[in-house]
Amino acid sequence: MTTKESLHRLIDELPEDALAGVEHYLAAVRDDPMMRVLLATPLDDEATTPEDDDEVRDARARYRRGEYLTADEAKSRLLE
């Protein structure tokens, strides 16, 4: 079975409520050159350092405590 045949089969088996999202995604892959570049880009497989891991944990904890800026707040601060 070819890849296209396999995709057609998968689409035929999808629930109706998933079709709009899949259609949107496939249209973006077809029409958006940046989307195609991003999809062709290899995943970052560089190992993180213990310091990186600590910073991520700290950032997530700050986020959970509500210590973050909304996009509008950040934009406002940048334009001050």
Domain match, 35 and 54 both: no
Tell me whether residue 45 is in a domain: no
Could you list the residue range(s) of the whole structural domain that residue 67 is in? 50-79
Domain match, 8 and 29 both: yes
**Model confidence over 7-35: pLDDT tens digits?**
999 999 999 999 999 999 999 999 999 99
**Model confidence over 29-71: pLDDT tens digits?**
999 999 999 989 998 889 999 999 999 999 999 999 999 999 9
- The domain tally of the chain equals 2
Element spanning 48, H or E: none
Tell me whether residue 70 is in a domain: yes
Burial track 5-43 (b if 16+ CB lie within 10 A, e otherwise): eeeeeeeeeeeeeeeeeeeeeeeeeeeeeeeeeeeeeee
Is this model's pTM higher than 0.75 or not? no
Domain match, 36 and 57 both: no
